[in-house]
A and B are shown apart, each in its own frame.
Chain A
Amino acid sequence: MKFKNVFSVVFLFISAKILPQNISSDSLGLNLKEVIISATRTPRELSSLPLPVTLVDQEIISSSGVVRLDEILIEQTGVNIVADESGFEGIQMQGISSDYILILIDGVPLIGRKAGNFDLSRMAIGNIKQIEIVKGPSSSLFGSEALGGVINIITEEPKTKKLNGNFSYRFGSFNQQDINTNIKQNSGKFKFNFFFNRLSSDGYQVDSESDPRTFYPFKNYTLHGKISNDFSKKLTGLFSFRFYDNEQLSMLILNEEDFEGETQENDMNIHLKFDQNVSKKFNIDYELYFTSYNADELIQSLLTENILNDNFFNQKLLRPEIRGNLKLKSKSNFSGGIGYQYEELSRTFFDDNINFSSQYFFIQGDFYLADKLNLIAGSRFDNHSEYKSQLSPKLAFYYKANKSLALKASVGFGFKSPAFRQLYFNFTNSSVGYTVLGYNVALDKLDELIYQNQIQDVVIPRNELINSLDAESSIGYNLGISIDEPKWKLDLNFFRNDIKNLIDTRIIARKNNGQNVFSYVNFDQIFTTGLELNFNHRITEKLNINGGYQLLYAFDKVKIQQINSGEIYARETTSNKTVELSNKDYFGLVNRSRHLGNLKFFYSFTKSKLKVNLRFIYRSKYAEFDTNGNGLVDSYDTSFINGYLTTNISAIKDLSKKIDFQLGLSNNLIDYTDANTPKIPGALGFLKLTYKT
C-alpha cells in the first residue's frame, strides 16, 4: 500500500502525503519496490508486472555521468542505437527499429522524427526521475508507434518543502560543455520545478571533414517547467511546459566546392492535466497536450552562395484525452480512456500542408484472480482519417510460483500508422533522376508525369494505388521467468514479434531517363525473435554487479521464401562467381547484431565517499546494407561492421554535503576507432562539478 500512496502524490496528485525520502536514493538495492507507470498507465509495482519492463533510475543516470538520453539507453540490455539507411540514428529494441518505438515524456508523446528515427540526443536527462522501457507491443494503451515498445521519460517531482535545487557544470572532450540547473519546491499544495540545460560541443571528425560520421559543432537549450496545485482534496492541476532549441553547423565538400550550412530545430511541449478524485475508488484525469517540432536546414556554397539544401519540417500535434481509473477489490483495478488526436505537417517535398485526425478509446482490466495470479487484459480502438481503423488487444499473465520465482507471459497487438512521408512525399532526386511519391498522391503525380511525357511505362495496375494503405501491424509474444533472491535477481525473457504489412518502396513506373518512380506499398513481413537475460548481484554492501544479454534473430519472411525456392544468388567475393544463396548465408535484417551485452560494476568506498563504476557495452557484428545487389544481407556482402566493445568508467566523490565531483572516461576507454564504426570518436573524458542545496 505504501508505494501506491507514493504514486498518488507523484503522478496522480490524489493526496498530499509526503514522499518517503529514500524512495529513489538506493536504487541498487534489490528489494526496493520500484514503481512503473508506463506498462499499464497506472502506477504498478515493477516486480509484479507481467510484461518485460526495464527501469533506469536517477541514481544510475547520475552515476554514469552521461548527458543525453541516447547515451544512457544504449547501456541498457537489449537496447541499441543505430543509424539506418537514411543516416539518422534511432533506438532499436527486440530488433525493432525506432519508427516503431513510441517515445513519451511524462506519458505524452514526443514528435519530430527524421525518416522515422527519433533523435534521443534531443533529450537532456538532468531532470529525469526515471526512464521506463516497456518492450513488446503496447498499442493496447498507446496506439500507433507503440508496436515495438514504449520509452517513457518520467521527470522529477519536487519532494521537500524547502526551496532547493542543484547546479552542475560538466566539461568534456571536444569542448563539450553541459550546464544543468534545477530549482524546485514542494510546499504541500503548490509544487513547482524548473529545469534548464545548455549543451554545446565543437564536434569531432572521425576521418576527414567530408566524412559522414563527422559530428558538427552544436549548441542547444532545454527549458522545462512544471507547476502543480491541489485546488481541493479532490482536484489537482498540473501545467508543464518544455522548450528545446538546437543549432548545428555543417560543412561539406562536394565536387571540390566548399559548402556550409546550419540546421535549426526546436520543439515545444505544453501539457495541462487535471486529476479529479470522484470518490476514494474512482478518479478521472483530464489532459490536454500540444507539441510542435520544427526543423530548418540551409546549406550553401561558400563561393557562389548556391543553395545545396533548403529544407524545412514543421509538425504539430494536439491531443485531448480523458482517462478514468476504478479501484476494485484487492489490488485489482479497471481503467479506460478516450481521446482525439490532431496532427499536422508541412515540409519540403510536400505539395500541401497535411493533417491527420484520429479518435480512440481504450479499456484495461488489471485483475488479481488469486493472490499469486495476476491478469491484465486490455484493448484499444483507433479510428483514423487516413487508413483502416485498428483494434489492438493485449493479454498478460503473471504467476508467482513461490517466494522468489515468478512466471510472466503476454501477447499483444501493435500497429504503426503510415508516416506522413509515406503518403504525401513528392520527391525527385536531382542528380540521379528517380522519383519517390507518397501513396496517397502517387496516382495524381503519376498522371502529371505521364502528361509531361516523362513516363515510359507504368509497371503496376493502377487499381493497386486506389485502396488506402494499411497500418503496419504486429503480434508480439513474451514469455519470461524471474528469480528474485535477497542478494541477486535474474530475469529471462523470450520474445517473438511477427510484423506484417511493413511499408516499403516499390517501383510503380519507369521514366524515360531510365530511372524509376517509386511509391510505398504494404509488402514486407518480418520477424524478430530471441531472448533477453538480465541479472543483478549485490556481492557485498559495497559492490554491485549487473549485466545483460540479448540474442536476436531478425529476418524478412519473404526473403527466406525466395532463398528456399532458389531465387536469390550472391557473388563470391574473390572469384566473382555467382552462387545460389542458402538460408545459412542469410545474415538477417540490416543493423541488427546477433548479440548485445553489457556488464557493469558499481563500487562504493563508504569512508572516502567515493563511488566508482565500470561499464562494458558490447555489440556484435552487423551489416549496414546489401552490397552485392541481391536485396538482402548475406555472408558475401562487404558492409559488415565488426563487433565492438565500449568501456566507460566514472567516479563520483562527495567533496562536501553540497558539492560533489565526478570524472569519467566515456564511450571508449581504449581509444578504439574503426573507420566503419559510426559515432565512436575515440576516448572521451569529462569532469563534472555539482552543487546541491
Chain B
Amino acid sequence: MKTINKILNISFTILLLSFISCSNDEEEEQEMVVLEPLKSEQITNFAAPQTGGMGEPIGGEFSKFDFENGAKTSSETDWDIAFRGTTICINGGVSTGTADEPTRNGNAGAVIVSGTFDSVITAEGLTFLQDAEGSFAIPTGSDNGWYNYNRQTFTISPIPGKVLVFRTRDGRYAKVEILSYYLDQDSSNTRGGRHYTFNYVFNPNEGETSLQ
C-alpha cells in the first residue's frame, strides 16, 4: 500500500507540477505575446500572366503570393494564393484539374464576403471553401466570383463590394479587395491586363480572426 501511496503521491505531484507549469505557460503567453499588429498594404501591378486564351487552352504557371512576406514567391510550399489571368487558386484543397496549377500542401481556405473593405472586420463565423476537383474556392467566370466582364468595353472590372477573405496555408487570416486587373489601374489599356492591384489586411497571429 505504501508504495502505491507513494506512486500516487508522485504522480499527483507531477500532475500538479504540470498544471502549475501549464498555467505558468499560459500566463506567460498572455503577458508576453502582445499580438503582432495587423499588416495592411497595397500590392500594385502584381503580374499574373497566362498562356493560351482566345479560344486556345489556357496554361502557364500561377503567380504565387505569400501573405506573411507580402510579396510574390516562387516557393513550392510557402504560398497562400496564386493568380493566373482572372483565376485565383489557393494553397488548400485538392487539384481542380486545371493545367499547370501549383501543388497544394497547405490548409488555405477562401470565401467571398459582400461589403466595403472596412466593414469586414473578422473572419470569425465564415465558412471557408477550398479548391476542389472541378471548382475553385473563388469561382471563375464573369459575375460568379470577383469580377465582371464588360462585353462593350472588353474589360474586367472587380465587382465593388466583393471582399475575398482567406485562411492562409497555416491558419492565419487575411482579407483582400481587388482594385484593378490592369497595369497602373488603367483599364483603358486592355493590353495591360493580368496585372492585379489589391489591398490586403493580414493578421499574422495564428488563429486570430480579427481583420481590423
Contacts and interface: CB of A to CB of B under 8 A. Distances in A.
A625 B135 CA distance: 30
Contact of B185 (A431, A457, A576, A577): A576
Interface in A426-442: 430-434
B55 A629 contact: no
A510 B150 contact: no
Interface residues of B, number: 36
A627 B160 contact: no
Interface string B106-147: 000000001111000000000000000011000111111001
A627 B134 contact: no
Given A567-B114, A625-B150, A627-B150, A516 B142 contact: yes
A568 B143 contact: no
B122 to A, nearest CB: 18
Interface in A148-184: none
B117 A626 contact: no
Nearest to B87: A514
Interface string A504-547: 00010011011110000000000000000000000000000000
A578 B116 contact: yes
Given A514-B141, A630-B160, A625 B152 contact: yes
Contacts of B85: 514
B141 A507 contact: yes
A85 B152 contact: yes
A627 B143 contact: no
B143 to A, nearest CB: 7
Interface in B77-123: 85-87, 114-117
B210 interface: no
Nearest to B116: A578
B114 A624 contact: no
Contacts of A569: 114-116, 159-161
Interface in A651-681: none
Interface string A546-580: 00000000000000000000011111000011111
A630 B152 contact: no
B97 to A, nearest CB: 8
Interface of A is mostly: loop
Contact of B151 (A85, A430, A579): A85
A611 to B, nearest CB: 43
A358 B158 CA distance: 45
Contacts of A264: none
A643 interface: no
B152 A629 contact: no
A628 interface: yes
A631 interface: yes
Contacts of B147: 629
A456 interface: yes
Contacts of B134: 456-457
If over half of B's interface residues share one DSSP class (helix, strand or loop), that class is named, otherwise mixed; here it is loop
B73 interface: no
B128 to A, nearest CB: 19
Contact of A568 (B140, B144, B157, B161): B161
B116 A433 contact: no
A456 B145 CA distance: 15
A85 B154 CA distance: 12
A515 B114 CA distance: 22
Given A457-B135, A631-B143, A576 B157 contact: no
Which bracket fits the contact residues of A?
20 to 34
A570 B160 contact: yes
B149 interface: yes
A636 to B, nearest CB: 8
Contacts of B157: 627-629
A457 B134 CA distance: 8
Contacts, number: 90
Interface in B178-198: 179-180, 185
Nearest to A84: B152
Given A85-B151, A507-B143, A510-B139, A431 B161 contact: no
Which of A457, A507, A576 has the most C-beta atoms of chain B within 10 angstroms of its own C-beta? A576
Interface in A614-653: 624-631
Given A626-B150, A629-B159, A516 B179 contact: no
A514 B185 contact: no
Interface string A587-601: 000000000000000
Given A510-B139, A576-B185, A432 B161 contact: no
A82 to B, nearest CB: 14
A579 B139 CA distance: 23
A514 B114 contact: no
Nearest to A568: B161
B86 A579 contact: no
B54 A580 contact: no
B40 interface: no
A510 B138 CA distance: 13
Contacts of A432: 54, 149
A580 B114 CA distance: 10
Contact of B148 (A430, A434, A510, A631): A631
Contacts of B55: 430-431, 433
Nearest to B139: A510
Contact of A630 (B141, B151, B159, B185): B159
Contacts of A624: 152
A513 B142 CA distance: 12
A629 B181 CA distance: 12
Contacts of A577: 116-117
Interface string B1-45: 000000000000000000000000000000000000000000000
Contact of A516 (B117, B141, B180): B141
B71 interface: no
Contacts of A431: 54-55
B153 interface: yes
Most B-side CB within 10 Å, residue of A85, A511, A569? A569
A456 B139 CA distance: 11
A85 B117 CA distance: 31
Contacts of A625: 150, 152-153
Contacts of A510: 139-141, 144
Nearest to B42: A576
A431 B53 CA distance: 8
Interface of A: 85, 430-434, 456-457, 507, 510-511, 513-516, 567-571, 576-580, 624-631
Given A430-B54, A516-B141, A567-B114, 4 more contacts: A456-B135, A514-B141, A629-B159, A630-B148
9 closest residue pairs by CB, A with B: A569-B161, A629-B157, A629-B148, A569-B160, A514-B140, A629-B159, A578-B116, A571-B160, A516-B141
28 contacts: A431-B55, A433-B54, A433-B55, A434-B142, A456-B134, A510-B140, A510-B141, A510-B144, A513-B57, A513-B58, A514-B58, A514-B141, A516-B142, A516-B143, A567-B114, A569-B114, A569-B159, A571-B160, A576-B185, A577-B117, A579-B160, A625-B150, A625-B153, A629-B147, A629-B157, A630-B148, A630-B160, A631-B143
